[in-house]
């Protein structure tokens, strides 16, 4: 059985101001997500599931899904505020869904095989998809063995300003111990550093692994997530902006010794549009990859 790619795209409507502004960055108007799906097909994924908001289903199918339908199996699931476990309650004033791990939970009814999770608007690179697909094939039929693609922090910086990253603490067996959110990471005079809680600069090695929200799970993860989400809503359900993130659930499982998460090193350079000024750099980087023959000029004929 081939692994599935689960694409988190529910934030698109708000983040891009509507699907009509899905940014064409490749030579023929390809989006970052197009490159991810191209890489996933090449790596041997057998299905793509998109999680979106119901409000843009029609546009999303026309603009995004139709171009892939003859190349790979596709499915759409929806993330809504009201998608909560039976018996759970939350504030009626809540305006946004519950974050990335809530989005992952929406795949429970359609994913029955090992699966990868990615953001729709991050460029991850071909090597990362190949490494991730290999791992997912190796855990077919198993449980409680997950992974995260760990990007070298030096390969994830923006030339336009400081960034925040989930810095990974990894044990001697290459297993994730936890993810610590660090802010204001940037390179200055050849040294990468972040600002700690006291505003002090702390150096980071360029190869320090960071999470860019590229994960691999087996389907048992859905049951754990549902249990944690029920507990999360008891504690935070009346808050208007609290979010149920993937690292929160994974950290819980690691602390409780219920699952392990292998950190997979990748040489890929991550890039995305963190700042408006990043856009031109992303266009240049994609054009360079096309020039080198890593991608065809037109991804999908």
Strand bridging mode 4-8 / 73-78: unpaired
The residue among 131, 174, 173 whose CA lies nearest residue 149 is 131
pLDDT of residue 189: 85
pLDDT of residue 87: 85
pLDDT of residue 19: 60
Among the CATH numbers 3.30.70.370, 3.30.365.10, 3.90.550.10, 3.30.950.10, which is that of 4-142+212-254+267-291?
3.90.550.10
| Successive 10-residue mean pLDDT values, the chain, 301 residues | 94 59 84 95 97 88 87 94 85 86 95 96 96 98 97 92 92 94 90 91 94 97 95 89 91 95 97 82 94 94 72
Question: How many residues make up the chain in this entry?
Answer: 301
What are the sequence ranges of the domains in the chain?
4-142+212-254+267-291
Helix ranges restricted to H, 218-264? 220-236, 246-255
What are the CA-CA distances from residue 139 to residues 2, 134, 136, 229, 239 (Å)? 11, 9, 5, 25, 37
The residue among 39, 26, 28 whose CA lies nearest residue 287 is 26
pLDDT of residue 273: 81
pLDDT of residue 69: 82
* Dist. CA 43–CA 29, nearest whole Å: 23
pLDDT of residue 301: 72
The residue among 111, 166, 121, 126 whose CA lies nearest residue 42 is 126
Written as six digits, the tokens of 264 are: 């997979």
* Residue 166 parent element (H or E): strand 163-170
pLDDT of residue 13: 57
Q: Between the CA atoms of 15, 209, 41 and 48, what dihedral angle is there, to the nearest 10 degrees? A: -50
pLDDT of residue 88: 85
* Dist. CA 192–CA 300, nearest whole Å: 38
Q: Are 95 and 239 in contact (CB under 8 A)?
A: no
pLDDT of residue 104: 97
pLDDT of residue 158: 86
Q: At which residue do the structure tokens 């990868």 appear?
A: 116
């Amino acid at each position: 059985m081939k692994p599935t790619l689960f694409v988190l795209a529910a934030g698109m409507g708000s983040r891009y101001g509507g699907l009509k502004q899905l940014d064409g960055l490749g030579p023929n108007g390809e989006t970052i997500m197009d490159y991810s799906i191209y890489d996933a097909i090449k790596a041997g994924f057998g299905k793509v599931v998109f999680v979106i908001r119901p409000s843009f289903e029609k546009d999303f199918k026309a603009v995004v899904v139709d171009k892939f339908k003859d190349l790979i199996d596709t499915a759409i699931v929806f993330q809504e505020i009201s998608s909560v476990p039976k018996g759970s309650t939350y504030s009626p004033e809540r305006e946004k869904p519950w974050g990335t791990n809530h989005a992952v939970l929406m795949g429970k009814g359609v994913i029955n095989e090992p699966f990868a999770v990615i953001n729709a608007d991050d460029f991850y690179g071909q090597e990362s998809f190949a490494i991730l697909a290999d791992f997912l094939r190796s855990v077919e039929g198993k449980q409680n063995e997950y992974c995260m693609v760990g990007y070298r922090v030096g390969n994830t910086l923006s030339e336009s300003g400081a960034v925040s990253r989930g810095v990974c603490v990894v044990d001697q067996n290459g297993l994730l111990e936890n993810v610590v959110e660090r802010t204001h990471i940037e390179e200055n005079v050849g040294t990468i550093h972040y600002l700690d809680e006291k505003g002090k600069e702390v150096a980071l090695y360029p190869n320090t692994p960071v999470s860019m929200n590229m994960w691999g799970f087996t389907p048992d993860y859905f049951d754990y997530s549902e249990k944690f989400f029920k507990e999360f809503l008891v504690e935070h359900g009346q808050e208007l902006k609290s979010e149920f993130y993937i690292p929160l659930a994974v950290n819980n499982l690691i602390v409780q010794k219920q699952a392990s998460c292998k950190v997979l090193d990748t040489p890929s350079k991550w890039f995305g549009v963190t700042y408006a000024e990043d856009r031109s750099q992303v266009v240049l980087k994609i054009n360079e990859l096309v020039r080198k023959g890593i991608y065809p000029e037109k991804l999908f004929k």
